[in-house]
Structures are given as structure tokens and as C-alpha cells.
Chain A
């Protein structure tokens, strides 16, 4: 199975045999992959009924819950890595979820669409909110209420006392090295508590 490129990067940062919590795990693709390739014990959290059902079909551990109500049910340091892929931008309480991630896990990994991509900037210059494959919603029905750029994320991470250990910026599934902030469509960070 071909793994979505950001998920492949996330998987590459997860040590075999580790305990994973995948927040907003969707249909369980990442966890199913990690179980196969990493022998990792993982749990997903997902709110949508259809996704929960799909996880059960994949025989992935899924807990149906609303991330916004927090990770109260989890004790400190229960997980090695807590993943939040393509969900941060839709969270109401961004700071709270990042802090919760490093409370229940030793490390956190987040991925999010780069709002600073040149195509977004161009759309804004043309007088419109951007609608692209990464953020394919109209402004009035978007779940993405907290869009940011890599630099924005790094500022917040510093303020919350997160130490960023790894960063990958991707465009069309491949790492970007030149003009990253303009050309990357997806940003992925790994961090731990400072």
C-alpha cells in the first residue's frame, strides 16, 4: 500500500516497537502501516462514525472521542509518540492540544498544510481566499480555522516550550530545500518537551 507522503515521513520518525497515539487517525491508515512495518502498539482517536468503522475493519485500535475535549483519559507519558496529522489547523484549541501531546507522550509529530504556499499568496493577491488541493474548502464551510505557516508554528512551539527536533517540508510528495516557505505544501515537525 502506498502511504500518503506526509504519513510516510511520520512513519519514518517513529521508532519500531514504540507506543503510538494517533490523534484524528481517520481511517487508520498510519496505524495499520505502523503495525505491519514497525510492530508498534498504536491507538487512534477519531470522532467520525465512518472512520471509526473503517478502523475496526482494519483491526486498528480506535477510540471514538472528540479531541477538543482533551486527552484527559490518558495518563502522563503513556505514549512514546503522539501524532497529529493534518488536523492541527482544524483544532479550536491549538495550544492546549500541543501541550497535551507532550504531556501524554514523550514526543509529538504534527503535519499541517502550509498557508504560506505561493499559490495561496497569489489567490490572496487576486482578492480571494485560497482554495487548493491542500486546503480544498471555501472560506464559509472550511473546517480549517487555524491555518499557519512553518514560521508561525515555530514561534508557537518556542513559546510553548517545545523543542523541535526534526522538520520536513514537502511539495508534491518530495522534500523541498529551496524557497521552502513558499514552495512547500505540507509541513511536518517532530518535537519534544524542552
Chain B
């Protein structure tokens, strides 16, 4: 759950690619012919994954860091696109030369998940079986399905083991899933502002957002492409709901209070309060670039993620196969994915005797804090990745 992946235009996020940027980047596409068998039993007969990489893969192919994206972000993690204004990657403040995830040391991979709408195969793509966009026929995918696809990309890049898998929010779920499903392939799991399962309240928010999309007459049951339509209003409302939950109440008060855009009450229903104007703008902007089917699909993947479900709800047993070292981070004002949820993961990891660091950052910005510049958060990440780098160096000396 993050902001516009193409602009990163959140307050507090570096919007320019200044010093420490990976510079101009170019996305690549990998095609896969082997079918991706999904958790639902359905399969994607063939698919593309859009991805970007930054930094250099070392000779031992040991320094790769996979960055998993959240709801509305993409493979474009860092850097900018040539001749494209406001094209800074969504986590450019975290990834780059000299930044916490230092591209002078690590080979960083960003990949767009299947089902998303930024270049990997998704509902907007042409279904080879029909010659028309998948639309509503695109299969429901899960976090586990994404991780399977990411592992295949790692295979294709010749990377057997990732130094770290990193993600915030839904991206953190992917990092956890990696640790459980591919314990031999991941050295460190860095899961930020995340949870091992959504709460009823979270699922409820997602359902309201989906209902907004599905009830837009322009949605056409998901086949709006064929009608030349876009369910902009539904998407916009979905985004407004989501956006409210990513901010803390205090943060909203601080930023907007009850400020009016008009001189006085207009006794109507327009965007009179600043907060209304802001949300409507965010919603409208989002509806211009995001795909409605992708929104349904990704929120469903969030709802379904629950690795403990196969173990009678026992998260300790679910995490038992994991051997990675873990860093978990939560933010005190994040009520969407509250610190309490992360503590459950920490407790389960300790019960399994795993190496784990857990930081609870006292930040005012709610769930969105994981994308923002916060000195304590960034220092912590930098120190943790220093440790990863030191271990890699130690391992290569031992192996030499």
C-alpha cells in the first residue's frame, strides 16, 4: 500500500533524483513460457514480468536484494526514467548509492507482480486464449503466487540465494512468504509495517473499496476495456478510503485540520474542506493510472494472506521452516497494520529461536511512514544492511 509509484510525490519523500540516486533506469521484461500454477488451481499459461535492477551482481551472485512492492507500487523502486518528469521510483529515499539499501554494495531487484498493471501480465494484458484483455477472467492471485513468480525471476537471473528480501505492507507479506517457502534461498527477511494476516477491520476496508469499484456502472463486471470505459469514480473512492487508512488521525489533523478552501461554509456538498479536496485529488489522480481489476485482485491477495491458516492458526508453526535472519519494523501510529500485529510475528520467530531484530518507530505518519524519510528508521535500515554486507564479506572470506 503505497503512493503513486511513478511520482513518489508524497510529502517528505524525495521527489528529485539528487545525489545518491541510481540515476536513469530502464525497465526490462522477462518472458516465461512455463505455466504459473496458482494457489486457486488456475494457471497462467505464459506471462511476462517487468523488472528493474540497480547496482552490480557480484561474482559469487550473493549480493542480490529483492524489493517487493505493495498495493499500488511497481518494479520502479529507484531512479528516474529518461525524459520523464516526476518519474522517481517509489522507494528512492531508501535505495541508491550511499542510501540504506546501498546500490554500491547490493544488486537490487524490483519486480512488478503478476496481476498488477505496470507491465507484468495482468488483467489488462491480452489473454492468448481469446485475443482480448483478460479483464474479469484474470485469475485471483495470492502472495504465494507472487513469490513463486519472483523466485522464477531470480532463477532466470542466475541467483540461487538472495541476500535479503525486503518489503513494506503487502511487500512485507511477500518477504515473510519467501522466508517460509524458500528458506534456503533467503539470507535476511526485512518486513516493514506488515502483518501475518489482515484483521476483520482491514478486510472490511478492502471490501468497501472493492464495492466502490464494482458498483461503478463503468466497471462492466470487470470487462470495461471492451466497452472503452474506465470505472474512474469507483477507483477514486476506493483510493480515498485506502488513503484515509494509511494516514494517522493526528497526521490528518496536522495537515488539514478543519481548514476550508472557501471563505465560509457554502452549504453544499462540494470539496469545501481541505481534506476533501486533497482526498478527491488523490483519488482522481490514482484513477488515471491504476487498473480497477488490479485493485480488486491485490486487495484480495491481502485478504487471503494468512500463512498460519494451514497450521490451525499457529503462526509459530507456520514460521518454523524459516531460517533467515529477520528485521521487523512497525510504526507507532500505523493503525492499519498496527505494531501489535508485528509483535505477533516477532513472538513466533523467537519461539522458533530465529535471529530477529524488531524496531517500533515512533513516527506520526501512520502506515505511510514506511515510505517516508525518518532519520531513526533510515539509520536503523542502514545499520541492518551494513550487517548484511558484513556477513556477505565474512562469508566470501571464509569461502575463499
Interface set of A (CB-CB < 8 Å, partner B): 19, 41, 43, 49, 52-53, 55-57, 59, 61-65, 73-75, 78
Contacts and interface: CB of A to CB of B under 8 A. Distances in A.
A74 B376 contact: no
Interface in B352-391: 353, 355-362, 376, 379-380, 383-384, 386-387, 390
Closest 10 CB pairs of A and B: A73-B347, A64-B360, A56-B383, A63-B358, A64-B359, A57-B383, A59-B387, A49-B376, A73-B343, A56-B357
B351 interface: yes
Given A49-B376, A75-B351, A78-B351, A63 B384 contact: no
Contact of B357 (A62, A73, A74, A75): A62
A180 to B, nearest CB: 37
Given A49-B376, A53-B380, A64-B358, A19 B351 contact: no
B332 to A, nearest CB: 10
Contacts, number: 56
Q: What's the dominant secondary structure at chain B's contact region?
A: helix
Interface of B: 327, 343-344, 346-347, 350-351, 353, 355-362, 376, 379-380, 383-384, 386-387, 390
Contacts of B380: 52-53, 56
B348 to A, nearest CB: 9
Contacts of A55: 357
Contacts of B343: 65, 73
Contact of A74 (B350, B353, B355, B360): B350
A143 B238 CA distance: 48
9 contacts: A49-B362, A49-B376, A53-B376, A53-B383, A61-B357, A62-B359, A65-B360, A73-B347, A78-B350
Name the residue among B360, B384, B386 with the largest chain A CB count within 10 angstroms: B360
Given A56-B357, A57-B387, A64-B359, 18 more contacts: A49-B362, A52-B359, A52-B380, A53-B379, A53-B380, A53-B383, A56-B327, A56-B359, A56-B387, A61-B355, A61-B356, A61-B357, A63-B346, A63-B350, A64-B358, A73-B343, A75-B347, A78-B351
A43 B350 contact: yes
Name the residue among A19, A49, A78 with the largest chain B CB count within 10 angstroms: A49
Nearest to B360: A64
Contacts of A74: 347, 350
Contacts of B357: 52, 55-56, 61-63
